[in-house]
Chains A and B, each alone.
Chain A
Amino acid sequence: MSTPKIELRGVHKAFGSNRVLRGVDLSVAPSESMVIIGGSGTGKSITIKSVLGLVKPDTGTVMVDGKDVRKHNREALLDKFGMLFQGGALFDSLRVWENVAFRVLRSKSTDECRELAVEKLRRVGLGPDTADRFPAELSGGMQKRVGLARAIATSPEIIFFDEPTTGLDPIMSDVINDLIRELVVELKCTAMTITHDMTSVRKIADKVAMLHEGVIQWTGPVSELDTCGNPYVEQFIHGRAEGPIEALR
């Protein structure tokens, strides 16, 4: 087996007494699409942020290309990544096209940047007229798609999508799912996606990981999702209130 593109080993993270991650082990092979599912507040966003170094794990290691992230040159490492934040995280002092082309703003001419931005916006279903607007002038779903365009703008090797389709209509969700699939299949990206939407899971995923109570409860190919027999996964995919995952009322 080749070295995994991304590997987490025994990652722990607590915020005060809130022990969010309690030993997460996960590995993602090159050009594989991993989808993380799990209840709200279980630490999915924290997990991908710990890969990017935005959150420092208390213990445990994160490896990219078989090397501890702490030993990588940070700037060079981050150049490999694209990230769509759950809230979009667009720079509201910059126009949409400047947001999308942010990474190359200083190295390319204005015209080239605009061209790049318009092309990427088109791929997420936004017309060229959005390019000159400010993020605050866009709807939530449009902001999400601009964030997506920014994440894929420089064709990174590894892309993280934190809930790419929440807030989008079903048709647009499908367009985005197709896009993610395309990136993985055609551009050989390694993708890690967080989503609650089971339709998206089935469409995007090669493999699925279920996070609950700070550990990965199950991970396996998406084809085995329905037959895995894991009670957490069963409850989650069928959206039942009854089961091992307690729903507080």
Chain B
Amino acid sequence: MTALSAIHGFVAGIGAAVLGLCQSVGAVTLFALKGVLAILVPPWYFRELFRQIMKIGYYSLPVVGLTAVATGGVLALQIYIGGSRFNAESVVASIVAIGMVRELGPVLGGLVVAGRVSAAIAAEIGTMRVTEQIDALTTLSTNPFRYLVAPRLLAGVLTMPVLVAVADTIGIMGGYLVGVNRLGFNGATYIRNTVDFLTFGDIASGLVKAAVFGFIITLMGCFHGYNSGRGAQGVGRATTNAVVSAMVLILAFDYLLTELFFST
């Protein structure tokens, strides 16, 4: 009897979790569609867009740059140590370049920006929800999706590729610095190897990933902030959820996109 009810409880628990998941996926999808629609259809709030581009893109440069230079340097060192049996000089340059551009630039850049931007957006919009500023927007005949969500989503999609392009460059520079100063490679050869190995596809796939991650990061911030619970506690929970879900989705989409681009 107790065993039966335990099984019953277990199955019911799974059912509830699955239903909850479906519900959240549906809610996020609907939210994203409304956001995209708000991007495509006027009125547009260009001043808000510009502000968000500055906030999301420009002010993320230092942290993204720092992450990239460290990653590029460490990568060069690791590959040299692991691959010194082979032709180290060409292997290091090409792996650093491909690794940074295809994978580490977008993913690490995405994760770092997720921590910074998703949290900030969720906290800001969540606070606006809690202090009735979103209601006030509505009563002032301003659609919150156009005024708050659309500029952030668009800023994310536009700025992340630029940030990642910068990260790629700085990461390769990091590899170069370690290669030339620490491992004693020839600088000109290092750069020639990098350029020779990189294809347009490597760069493009990385930038497409970046744009998708930019959308995910801002979407999660907006979604959780917009649906924030009441009070400071609600905003805190929204912030945490935004960062965690953005990071998980970035990793999941990274895999999916990699399959899509390179599995032919």
Contact = CB atoms under 8 A, between A and B. Distances in A.
A86 B138 CA distance: 16
A154 B139 CA distance: 12
Contacts of B133: 89-92
A123 B135 CA distance: 24
Interface string B118-143: 00000010001001110111111110
Contacts of A103: 140-141
B141 A83 contact: no
B20 interface: no
Contacts of A81: 139
Interface string A90-106: 11110000000011001
Contacts of A185: none
A78 B137 CA distance: 11
B74 to A, nearest CB: 39
A197 interface: no
Interface in B41-55: 43
Nearest to A105: B47
A76 to B, nearest CB: 9
A42 to B, nearest CB: 18
A53 B135 CA distance: 10
B102 to A, nearest CB: 38
A92 B130 CA distance: 13
Nearest to A160: B139
Interface in B132-158: 132-133, 135-142
Contacts of B139: 52, 54, 78, 81-83
A87 interface: yes
B136 A79 contact: no
Interface string A101-122: 0110010000000000000000
Which of A54, A85, A89 has the most C-beta atoms of chain B within 10 angstroms of its own C-beta? A89
A5 interface: no
Contacts of B124: 93
Contacts of A93: 124
Contacts of A78: 138-141
A86 B132 CA distance: 9
Nearest to A156: B139
Interface string A219-235: 00000000000000000
A30 to B, nearest CB: 20
A78 B142 CA distance: 9
16 contacts: A54-B139, A78-B138, A78-B139, A78-B141, A82-B139, A83-B136, A83-B139, A85-B135, A90-B133, A91-B128, A91-B133, A91-B137, A93-B124, A102-B140, A103-B141, A150-B140
Interface of A: 49, 52-54, 75, 78-79, 81-83, 85-87, 89-93, 102-103, 106, 150
Given A54-B138, A90-B136, 13 more contacts: A49-B135, A54-B135, A78-B138, A83-B139, A86-B132, A87-B132, A89-B133, A89-B136, A90-B133, A91-B133, A93-B124, A103-B141, A150-B140
